[in-house]
């Protein structure tokens, strides 16, 4: 659901910001940061990129079909008006 690579990058940035004297606990902080980020991001009401792309394609097809039906309806209405 959430891009794991991006979470890794954020956690690494946090870890890199830690002073050299605290590097021995950096890996623990990095893991905790990843855990917190994953938990908080999973609480958001978001969809995966794959699901978004699928829904985009569905919408494109639906719009095309709607346009086609509007054209047919206009032709039918024109015939009835004659």
CA triple 26-9-41, angle to 5 deg: 100
Biggest alpha carbon–alpha carbon distance for the chain: 88
Domain-by-domain residue ranges, the chain?
1-46, 47-82
Q: Residue 17: which of 33, 2, 35, 6 has the closest Cα?
A: 33
Q: Are 32 and 10 in contact (CB under 8 A)?
A: no
What is the Cα–Cα distance from 79 to 59, expressed in whole angstroms? 30
Please list the pLDDT of the chain residue by residue as tens digits (82 residues): 567 788 888 878 887 887 777 766 767 787 888 888 888 888 887 788 899 999 999 999 999 999 999 999 999 999 999 8
């Amino acid at each position: 659901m959430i891009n794991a690579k991006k979470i890794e990058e954020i956690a690494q940035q946090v870890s890199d910001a830690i002073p050299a004297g605290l590097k021995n606990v950096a890996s623990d902080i990095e893991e905790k940061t990843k855990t917190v980020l994953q938990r908080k991001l999973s609480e958001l009401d978001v969809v995966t990129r794959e699901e978004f792309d699928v829904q985009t394609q569905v919408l494109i097809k639906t719009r095309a079909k709607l346009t086609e039906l509007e054209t047919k309806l206009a032709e039918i209405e024109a015939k009835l008006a004659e």
